[in-house]
Amino acid sequence: MNTSINILLLLLQLFRYFPVFSQGQRSDESLVLSSINDTVSTEDEMGGIRILERPKSRGMFRRRRRSAGSRNSVRLWKMPIHFRFDGGHKLEQKQVIRRALEHWMDNTCVRFKEISSAEFYDDHHMLFTSQSQGCFSYTGMVKAIPQRVNLDDECLKIFGKSVHEIGHVLGLWHEQQRLDRDDSVEIVEENIRKFRHQFRKHWKVPEGIPYELGSIMHYSAKDGSVNGELTLRAKDPLYQGNMGQRTGLSFADALYVNTVYCKDVCTGRLERQCANGGYRDPKYCTRCRCPDGFSGDFCQDVAVGGCGAIYDVTVDRNVTIQSPGYDDRKPYNHLTTCTWWFKSAIGYRLQFRFVDEFGIYCFEQSCYHWVEVRFRKNPAIEGPRFCCDSRPDVLLTSENQQMLVLFRSNWDATVSDGGQRGDLRGFRAVVTAVPDVVKNDDLKH
């Protein structure tokens, strides 16, 4: 008798994985796309919003439904968030997904716990599936048990696609849907197909979280294009290459999740205030979490890495920097991190320009490796990123007496096809001190 009951319970659990559609309803799997970059909207009885993302190499489409109430009213998960696999992924693909979950745990206070595929678990959890129809997930926790997150073979070729979909599960919308986007990005309506709602702004984020074109939740510049032209144009042309990266979380991505999930984790006050745009780390309440380029318990130090440096730049001294291996004409290595910090005397500013040959890996014009130049007054604010094969014709002047330059090849470009390698030639740049009268009005784009 007990054996029969256990078998019945197991069958009931299995049936939950397969939605039942009455006559006249169409399952998601039955949808037929009329062309690449199509968008199909269907009614969904799961109580949430589903976002389906096609890998860029095969086009892109999205599917979603508005749940009752405001789109901002996503349901947050309780910790830890349980997950399991449906059995369709290979071992190495499971490891990619596990690394993506670990990436979120390394940068936020959220926690994930794996449960066995054979284990009976009748509470909210994620089920990773691998049907050959792209990457998709729901936004926030929904009524469905289990909550499906689909990552097919193409999705798993790029690590950040898994990170992106898990971001939706945690409650993040696409960055360009933020209500405050208009200062940063322009929507090119004439180049978008009928699914204009994909670019409609509706997401209100907590105060203090900066809009980042380099967010892992941001579309690339041509996503959803009907004619191969831009659908998203950065208000500052220097930032055009920042959009669409799928290499890892941006500082603001993690800040959002830490704000909505972890705001009450730490009590009391820090020993000292966080410097350089850092904030109290909900994982380690006695220290700060720092923007890329800074380190130390309170973000007071520059994280120069193995090939960076700190320079005091004087009028009679130009400083030349370059990627590792540049003089030997060797390609730079994947997973390289270099940070340079420049300071000038009072009455002077700093100017940055690229010289000689240039080649930094990019993927469909989005920077997956980059040289980032932070020349604004606040060095924690995202700076323009430069990549691909052509040497950028820019002359950047700092807004005060400091400048931060970051070289990042944090993503292993050998795991993907379709990228523009640029031979990984690297870069060389010159930084000079100039009188304070020079303005950024003289920028070349």
pLDDT digits (tens, 9 = 90+) for 187-230: 999 999 866 777 999 999 999 999 999 999 999 999 999 999 99
pLDDT score recorded for residue 437: 78
Residue 306's pLDDT band, with cuts at 50, 70 and 90, is confident
Tell me the chain's radius of gyration from C-alpha atoms. Answer: 23
pLDDT score recorded for residue 410: 84
pLDDT score recorded for residue 53: 57
Q: 413 with 372: CB under 8 angstroms?
A: no
pLDDT score recorded for residue 365: 87
Least confident of 7-16, 151-160, 161-170: 7-16
Residue 21 has pLDDT above 70, yes or no: no
Residue 37 has pLDDT above 70, yes or no: no
Residue 254 has pLDDT above 90, yes or no: yes
Residue 47 has pLDDT above 80, yes or no: no
Residue 320 has pLDDT above 60, yes or no: yes
Beta strands (DSSP E) in 238-347 are 279-280, 288-289, 294-295, 301-302, 309-313, 319-322, 337-344
Catalytic machinery residues: 165
pTM metric for this prediction? 0.83
Residue 414 has pLDDT above 90, yes or no: no
Residue 3's pLDDT band, with cuts at 50, 70 and 90, is low
pLDDT digits (tens, 9 = 90+) for 126-158: 999 998 778 999 999 999 999 999 999 999 999
* φ, ψ for residue 253, nearest 5 deg: -60, -50
Least confident of 25-39, 162-176, 317-331: 25-39
pLDDT score recorded for residue 259: 97
- Here the tokens at position 289 are 């979490």
Residue 64 has pLDDT above 80, yes or no: no
State the average pLDDT over residues 246-264: 96
Dihedral (CA of 249, 251, 253, 258) sign? positive
pLDDT digits (tens, 9 = 90+) for 359-403: 999 988 899 999 999 999 999 999 999 999 999 999 999 999 999
pLDDT digits (tens, 9 = 90+) for 257-290: 999 999 889 999 999 999 999 999 999 999 999 9
Percent of the chain beyond pLDDT 70?
79
Pairing of strands 402-408, 337-344: antiparallel
Residue 45 has pLDDT above 60, yes or no: no
Task: Give 47's DSSP letter.
Answer: S
Widest Cα–Cα separation across the chain:
90
Residue scoring higher pLDDT (308 or 437): 308
Helix or strand run (H / E) with residue 261: helix 251-262
